[in-house]
Amino acid sequence: MEMEGRRREVVVSSLQFACSDDISTNVAAAERLVREAHAKGANIVLIQELFEGYYFCQAQREDFFQRAKPYKNHPTIARMQKLAKELGVVIPVSFFEEANAAHYNSIAIIDADGADLGIYRKSHIPDGPGYQEKFYFNPGDTGFKVFQTKFAKIGVAICWDQWFPEAARAMVLQGAEILFYPTAIGSEPQDQGLDSRDHWRRVMQGHAGANVVPLVASNRIGKEIIETEHGPSQITFYGTSFIAGPTGEIVAEADDKSEAVLVAQFDLEIIKSKRQSWGVFRDRRPDLYKVLLTMDGNL
């Protein structure tokens, strides 16, 4: 009977805003919205991917490597550490990392006391029209990680990672109680008729439902034009950031054009009980999954 009374409630938030190509303006916007999320009761606040500027991967340009900074003493991370400590919130901070001769699409996890819990480096790197990330980013070498924060053990992956169920499962197997995916996704320059927003959301709703955990996705909005070697390239980012519950249900969502601060509350003890009783982790057969270690399905 004592166990039935246990509660562990956490309020998560997803931010959504349009970026300029000015770092100070974007970081100020992120701080303003983090403060708004805190005012709404948020404990963990997710900011969108690479929010310091435009999504520069529309072009393959040598000068854009100048946007990268080392992880140590990174000014935006330091500012968010101060903010996290002041407000008592957890903030994952996305940034373009320079690590000696390597470059990564990385995220630092800042705990509610301002402590830096470490980084995750994006594992799956896309390469297609408008999303030419392989030109800039090495494949991440951290592996999928979870971070014990003040409020919950969280798993954080980045954008293209969200299309891979293996990543979500790996994080939950390590104890992640909530999944977070900062994102930059929108129209496709080569096909203006292609709109992936519903597909994008359904895939992540599946991760939430398959792993019986809440999931938070943050995407940017607005039109961004980047000069490329072939002329201007344009992406209209479709927002539609959302928070899903542990059966994949949408509990909070933004539209495709408006700045937003989404919040949702979950009781992690109740969800833990549901996850345990549902049996998807009890009935796993890792001995049969060796085919997942191959590229072509042949053992």
User: Hey, which residues are catalytic here?
Assistant: 49, 122, 159
- In the numeric block, which tokens belong to residue 80? 């968010």
> How many Å apart are CA 59 and CA 68, to the nearest integer?
15
Type of residue numbered 48: Q
Give the pairing type, strands 250-253 and 215-218: unpaired
Q: Are 59 and 228 in contact (CB under 8 A)?
A: yes
Helices (H), the chain: 23-39, 75-87, 165-173, 197-211, 268-278
Query: Residue 88: is it exposed, middle or buried by C-beta count within 10 angstroms (0-12/13-18/19+)?
Result: middle
Strand spans (E) along the chain = 9-16, 44-46, 91-99, 102-110, 116-121, 127-128, 131-132, 146-148, 153-156, 178-182, 215-218, 221-228, 231-238, 242-244, 250-253, 260-267
